[in-house]
Amino acid sequence: MALSFDDDNSLFNFVVKEGNGVKGLVEYSGLTEVPPRFIQPPYERFDKQQATQSSENMIIDLSELDGPNHDQVVKALAHAAETLGFFQVVNHGVPLELLDSLKTATHQFFDQPAEKKATYLKEVSNNPMVMYATSFVPEKEKVWMWRDFFKMTYTNDADAFEFWPNECKEVVLEYIKTSTEMVKKLLQALIGNPGVKLNDSGLDPFIGSKSVHMIFYPTCPNPELTIGVKKHSDMGTLTMLLQDDVGGLYVKKAGENLSSGNEEWVEVPPTSGALVINVGDVLQILSNGKYKSAEHIVRTTSTASRVSIPIFNAPVPVAKIGPFPELVARDGVARYKEVTYKEYTNNIMQKPHGGKMALQFASV
């Protein structure tokens, strides 16, 4: 008997509990309309006609960071972090073949049968280092996002070797290893620009928690009604993201008077060989508001499925997050109070995913 996906219970069982995900739903007897559970209220939807191309060049060549053009590159990084909060980097030191292998590994992971993926469900795996899920927290969300994801938490290489899936652990570990160098350089440049001196070990507490997500956005029969990821800013320090050539990531232009419904969105265009970088809430706090953790959104499309692979670089839970004293002295005011990262994330987890409301928790 065919399943009816208008019934919330059978939808939950099929998509979440049995591990079919949104991908399985699309593949099941050729879905022509999304079930009501995926229909977003109008204020959460996204119309790509309203988005624009950025008038600025978002691509920064990092090969110049160690050469005679160092100061210009730092200026470009700081300008991007202060304005859009998003930029893309090329010549970043992460091998291009590795980027291809990561996209392939992501497709291979999601192409596995539901029974295999279901072994990584939170309730099944009993392993805090991996999690396969759909949407964000489907048990709690009234409306689901149109995506599946697989999260790998990084603590150290030995744990990753033991607990991550054989099929992708090597390639993902290499991704972390090669990108951490670059992330440290970016942070040195961004934090050093307003005059804060931190050596490598000073930076470590702010990027000591890492997780890698492999995300799959299936094709969607009703892109105008659904969303891949809702508007949100990232809570960590700096996010690095690899996207394929399908596109769908948009960033909100900063502007105090751009209210809901009146927002301006700019596409982050797929760029061969580039990695997308964005400022997280923590860097906004550390920089006393100089750098912006921009809200972003992922739309769905009916024409192609999309994969992306972000690494979320975040502080260790006990790290104290507050504006650097040098910046408070320079600005004459502390715009945020000091909280531990654990307090910050606990506050976010109690709220629905979305927007930038979490930052108010740390605001003075």
Ligand X SMILES: O=C(O)CCC(=O)C(=O)O
Residues at the site binding ligand X, with contacts judged by CB under 6 A: 213, 215, 229, 234, 241, 243, 249, 296, 298, 308, 310
- 322-333 burial by CB neighbour count: b if 16+ within 10 A, else e? bbbeebeeeeee
Q: Rank residues 14 and 149 by Cβ distance to ligand X and give the closer one.
A: 149
Token pair 């304005």: residue: 83
In angstroms, the CA 187 to CA 240 distance is 12
Q: Rank residues 293 and 308 by Cβ distance to ligand X and give the closer one.
A: 308
Cβ neighbours of 207 (radius 10 Å): 22
- Long-range contacts, stretch 254-259, CB < 8 angstroms, 24+ apart: 254/83, 254/84, 254/85, 254/292, 254/294
Smallest distance, Å, CB 326 to ligand X?
30
Which helix (H) or strand (E) covers residue 238, if one does?
strand 238-243
Smallest distance, Å, CB 66 to ligand X?
29
Cβ neighbours of 174 (radius 10 Å): 15
Q: Rank residues 23 and 213 by Cβ distance to ligand X and give the closer one.
A: 213
Smallest distance, Å, CB 239 to ligand X?
7
Smallest distance, Å, CB 296 to ligand X?
5
Q: Rank residues 243 and 301 by Cβ distance to ligand X and give the closer one.
A: 243
Degrees to nearest 5, angle at CA 51 with 46 and 55: 155
Q: Which two tokens stand for residue 310?
A: 């972000």
β partners of residue 258: none
Smallest distance, Å, CB 362 to ligand X?
19
Q: Rank residues 5 and 217 by Cβ distance to ligand X and give the closer one.
A: 217
Q: Rank residues 196 and 277 by Cβ distance to ligand X and give the closer one.
A: 277
Smallest distance, Å, CB 151 to ligand X?
10
Q: Which two tokens stand for residue 330?
A: 């320079």
